[in-house]
C-alpha cells in the first residue's frame, strides 16, 4: 500500500478485501490517532513498522518488540545528551 509524505493511507487497506490487513490497519490507525489527539507525533520508524505488520511481514508481537527496542535506544541517546534534551527528544517511537 502507500505511504506518502510520511502519512499512511489506512483507508486503502479497508478497500483491499483482505480482512486481516483491514483489521491491522484499523488498529494502527486508531493507535496513531490517539497519540495525535494527545498532541504527540509518531516516528517514521513506528510508521514503517506498522506497515510491515499490516502487510503481514511481521507479527504484532514482533512489531511491539522492535518498537520497544528502538525507543530504549532512542532514550539512551537522548539521556547521554542531558536531561533537558531528553525532554525535547521525547516523542512516540
Percentage with pLDDT > 70 across the chain: 77
pLDDT at 63 over 90: yes
pLDDT tens per residue, range 5-15: 556 777 787 77
Domain ranges of the chain: 9-89
Q: What angle do CA 58, 22, 44 make, to 5 degrees?
A: 55
**Considering only 1-5, 6-10, 49-53, 89-93, which range has the smallest mean pLDDT?**
1-5
Question: Measured between alpha carbons, how far is 84 from 47 in angstroms, rounded to an integer?
Answer: 26
Residue 29 · residue 14 · CB < 8 Å = no
Whether the CA torsion 75, 79, 84, 85 is positive or negative: it is negative
pTM for the complete prediction? Answer: 0.75
In the prediction, which pLDDT does 84 show?
Answer: 55
As a dihedral over the C-alpha atoms of residue 38, residue 39, residue 42, residue 47, rounded to 10 degrees, the angle is 80
pLDDT (0 to 100) of residue 77 = 81
Q: Using CA atoms, how far apart are residues 60 and 62, in angstroms rounded to an integer?
A: 5
Amino acid at each position: 500500500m502507500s505511504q506518502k509524505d510520511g502519512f499512511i493511507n489506512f483507508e486503502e487497506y479497508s478497500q483491499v478485501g483482505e480482512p486481516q490487513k483491514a483489521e491491522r490497519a484499523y488498529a494502527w490507525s486508531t493507535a496513531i490517532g490517539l497519540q495525535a489527539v494527545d498532541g504527540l507525533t509518531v516516528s517514521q520508524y513506528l510508521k514503517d513498522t506498522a506497515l510491515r505488520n499490516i502487510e503481514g511481514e511481521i507479527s504484532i508481537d514482533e512489531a511491539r518488540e522492535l518498537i520497544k527496542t528502538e525507543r530504549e535506544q532512542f532514550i539512551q541517546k537522548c539521556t547521554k545528551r542531558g536531561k533537558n534534551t531528553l525532554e525535547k527528544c521525547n516523542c512516540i517511537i
